[in-house]
Amino acid sequence: MSSSSRTNRELFINGILNENPIFRLALSMCPAVGISTTVMNGILLGIAVLFVQVFSSCTISLIRNHIHPRIRIPTYTLTIATWVTVIDLVLAAFFPTAYKSLGIFVRLIVVFCFITCRLDVFAARNRLFPSCIDALGMGCGFLLGMVVVGGVRELLGMGTLLGYNILGFRPMFFFALPAAGFFTIGFMTAAFNHMETVYNRKKSTSRGSAASGAGL
């Protein structure tokens, strides 16, 4: 994970593709299942996560030389908790209806593993600017994942996207049910795994060990 050899663009893309929190790392699935019934919910939570990730990465990156290694995890948690409180209050004040639909999940951003993971792996070892780019990439990756899952569920379940009627009918209302989040993610990861094996089979000459998406 050394940053010096990687350009900013690679850092940004890394969070979106190679280490996408939802599809590749399979971390923080709770919101992806719980509130991804519509695209709008996905976008809102994604933006909240993006803010928290960027701000806490910047904070940790700035104070990284003053953190004693033994108390680093509590420091990360408290930093994230502070920024989550800020976002929580801002959302509650300016977007009360959206805040209500997100429910408890805004506050639960504190325990999303990939944010802490990013702070430990990247922000604590790199300067401000690369940490910021890396955080932006991870945040956007999460946002993208939520939007894709939300989009599939909303399109298949209600026949709409962002509230606009696209299909004019409801192909599979089942997907709008809360429990269908598990099926959506299950089938999507399976589809990604399949595409990956096909892709690897085609390029099997040089790249031997592409990370398997099936691992935890």
Which residue ranges make up the site for other proteins (CB under 8 A)? 26-30, 33-34, 74, 77-78, 81-82, 84-85, 88-89, 104, 107-108, 110-111, 113, 177-183, 185-187, 189-191, 193-194, 197, 212-216
Residue with Cβ nearer other proteins (63 or 113): 113
Asked if 130 contacts 57 with a C-beta cutoff of 8 angstroms, the reply is no
Residue with Cβ nearer other proteins (114 or 122): 114
Asked if 163 contacts 98 with a C-beta cutoff of 8 angstroms, the reply is no
Structure tokens at 29: 């699935």
* Rounded least distance, CB 205 to other proteins, Å: 21
Residue with Cβ nearer other proteins (56 or 126): 56
Neighbouring-strand partners of residue 165: 160
* Radius of gyration for the chain, computed over Cα atoms and rounded to the nearest angstrom: 18
Residue with Cβ nearer other proteins (22 or 132): 22
* Rounded least distance, CB 22 to other proteins, Å: 11
* Rounded least distance, CB 102 to other proteins, Å: 13
Asked if 3 contacts 190 with a C-beta cutoff of 8 angstroms, the reply is no
Q: Report H helices in 68-179.
A: 72-94, 96-102, 113-118, 128-158
* Rounded least distance, CB 54 to other proteins, Å: 18
Burial 193-205 (b: 16+ CB within 10 A, else e): eeeeeeeeeeeee
